[in-house]
Amino acid sequence: MFRKTALILALLTAPAMAQVGSIAVDDDFVRGSTGWQNTPGTFELAWKPASGPGGAVMICGVWAIDNDAVIKGAHDILGEARVVINDIVVLENLLFFSRAGTRAAIDSTPANCMPTAAPTPVRNARILFGDGTFRAKRR
């Protein structure tokens, strides 16, 4: 009984799609940063919707912090984030984004990507987390 319950739980909680590689960070990546009032440190993010296999929309991103004291806060931001494309939530939990060693290394760190079932063409895209938003540029 325990095994069957564990298997069902694993199937229900498994991600629907697997990460599909990474891409180089370029000028089309949206950048944003935030900090905390009680702990010195900055969380910085670079992301973009990209074209994937079969024309699927992928979400690609990389992040960094400048103080390990804010690592839990960074994980909370990524874990609770939602990607909205054309006013539809297409992805939740961005912990698959790659982590750069430093904020300065974001441009040279390949960004991990995840496919979505987002509608095309992408008219607008944004990441929502708490009270903040990182919006993608219109093309």
pLDDT at 133: 56
Choice among 17-31, 71-85, 102-116 with the minimum mean pLDDT:
17-31
pLDDT of amino acid 27: 95
What pLDDT sits at residue 9?
A: 28
Residue 76's Cβ-side half-sphere holds a number of Cα atoms within 13 Å equal to: 8
Q: Please state, rounded to an integer, the average pLDDT across all residues of the chain.
A: 83
pTM recorded for the entire structure: 0.80
Whether 2 shows a pLDDT value over 50: the answer reads no
pLDDT of the residue at 135: 59
Question: Beta strands 22-23 and 111-115: pairing type?
Answer: antiparallel
**pLDDT at residue 5, rounded to an integer:** 30
Interacting residues of 96 by C-beta distance below 8 A, sequence separation 6+:
19, 112, 114
Local structure of 68: helix, strand or coil = helix
Tell me what the mean pLDDT of segment 106-135 comes to: 86
86: left (phi over 0), alpha (psi -120 to 50) or beta: left
Quick check: 88 pLDDT over 60? yes
Q: Are strands 57-65 and 98-99 parallel, antiparallel or unpaired?
A: parallel
